Amino acid sequence: MSISTQSDSSPGSVASAAGDRLGTELRRPPILSLRFFAVWQRNFRVWRKLMLPSLLGNFGEPVLYLLALGYGLGQFVGEVEGMSYMVFLASGIVCSAAMTGATFEALYSAFTRLTQQQTWAAMLAAPMNVDDVVLGEIAWAATKALINASAIVLVAALLGLVAGPQALLVLPVILLAGFAFAGIAMIVTAISPSYDFFLYYFTLVMTPMLLLSGVFFPLESLPGAVQIGAQCLPLAHVVMLVRPLMTGGAIDAPILHLAVIVGYIIATYWLSAALARRRLVR
């Protein structure tokens, strides 16, 4: 009598096992420790060697947008929300610079360290876990966002586009926002098979968020349904906090805006750490 057996490595069983494993990873919260600072410190030391070209690359494009659109388009637009278009745009460019700075660092640089340089593998050989590495990468990307945005705030102040010293309160908001944007990008990094995969994120997420979050024009000029959708995007809430701080206006519902940003930080770190563990821990 012959007995037939079915291999456990069939596509269905493999997919089911992968799904169960991801579910287990998602339910387990990340393990927080101060070991992430070693990752941040390592990335800072590497960046310090290439600081000047890095600053020029990340700082030049936002300033160009500010000057070209502010002076050029501003001649046709006039005033927006009771202020010159140049003043209105400056706060939006600060927010977009934070988003792009954190995103590029958490995508291209982190993916290079993960795959090409195998830096993550080397760090995991130390007394450090995946959660530490992911948080360190996110923290460093948030720092890059703060550096880029601070440079734009300085330029805006020199051009007379800042209302007063309360604009310094923009910096902690930008740092928080950097954690949120870096967390979103780290999710993409954790699942990306190659650099080309990042184009999906830029086309489907980052570009719509940039255009629909009040960076270049007020949200009120958009259709009602689009305005509601924009409230789900972290960049919109960052703009709603940063613009009044830079222009001297009052902030509507600051607790709500901060809660959305912090919610993104927690959710994206949790998910990106789970996805990275699934990718790296066999």
Residue recorded with tokens 């530490």: 132
Task: State the first-to-last Cα distance of the chain, in angstroms, to the nearest integer.
Answer: 39
List pLDDT tens digits, range 166-190: 889 999 999 999 999 999 999 999 9
Q: List the one residue out of 9, 245, 32 whose CA is nearest residue 130.
A: 32
Q: What is the pTM of this model?
A: 0.87
Residue 282 in this model has a pLDDT that exceeds 50:
yes
Pick from 149, 146, 123: nearest CA to 135: 123
For residue 264, is pLDDT > 70? yes
Higher pLDDT, 139 or 89: 139
Position 108: which residue type? Y
Alpha helices of 204-251 — where are they, by DSSP H? 207-212, 224-230, 234-247
Residue predicted with more confidence, 78 or 9: 78
Rounded-to-5 percentages of helix, strand, coil across the chain: 80, 0, 20
Half-sphere exposure of 192 (CA within 13 A, CB side): 23
State the average pLDDT for the chain: 87
- Which residues does residue 84 pair with via DSSP β-bridges, in sequence order? 79
Stronger pLDDT, 101 or 17, i.e. the higher one:
101
Each residue's pLDDT tens digit, 198-255: 999 999 999 999 999 999 989 888 888 989 999 999 999 999 999 999 998 889 999 9
With a CB cutoff of 8 Å and minimum separation 6, the contacts of 127 are 35
pLDDT tens digit sequence for 36-64: 999 999 999 999 888 877 777 666 777 77
Instruction: Considering only residues 15 and 281, tell me which one the structure prediction assigns the higher pLDDT.
Output: 281
| DSSP type of residue 250 | P
- pLDDT of 4 over the 50 cut: no
What is the chain's Cα-based Rg? 21
pLDDT of residue 1: 36
DSSP reduced 3-state for 78: coil
